[in-house]
């Protein structure tokens, strides 16, 4: 069981930036595709970004393309999501997830999930 813990969420003004982190305490993350998803109230969970086990390939959902950057530092067993130019529409709970499959975009293909971190963007 891979246990993931997100951090770095908070309240930020529109146009600002936040950096989210996802750390694993019980397993090494190397070998897993890692993804970030988000869910706003009343909406379905949405793919934000994914990174392959090697870090050489990334994938982004339409919402974060050009504004968000996913990265990983396996030596720290941590995955990051740098979010710039935030908009009120980015307000959601952000989840980190791990998959044994290569660079997936569907939440059903991720086996392990964190509890999420709230991001709120004020206008």
CB distance 50 to 105 below 8 Å: yes
Q: Which of 91, 90, 109 is nearest to 100 (CA)?
A: 109
Residue-wise pLDDT tens digits, 17-28 = 999 999 998 788
Condensed to tens digits (0 to 9), the pLDDT of residues 47-66 reads 999 999 999 999 999 998 89
CA distances (Å), origin 101, targets 6, 14, 56, 80: 21, 35, 15, 19
Distance, CA of 77 to CA of 70 (rounded, Å): 14
CA pair distance 29, 27, nearest whole angstrom: 6
């Amino acid at each position: 069981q891979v246990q993931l813990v997100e951090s770095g969420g908070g309240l930020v003004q529109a146009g600002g930036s936040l950096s989210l982190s996802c750390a694993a305490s019980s397993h090494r993350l190397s070998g897993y595709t890692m993804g970030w998803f988000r869910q706003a109230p009343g909406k379905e969970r949405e793919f934000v970004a994914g990174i392959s086990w090697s870090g050489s390939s990334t994938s982004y959902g339409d919402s974060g393309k050009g504004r968000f950057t996913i990265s990983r530092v396996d030596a720290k067993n941590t995955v990051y999501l740098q979010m710039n130019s935030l908009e009120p529409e980015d307000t959601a709970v952000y989840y980190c997830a791990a998959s044994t499959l290569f660079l997936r975009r569907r939440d059903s293909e991720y086996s392990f999930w964190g509890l999420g971190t709230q991001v709120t963007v004020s206008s």
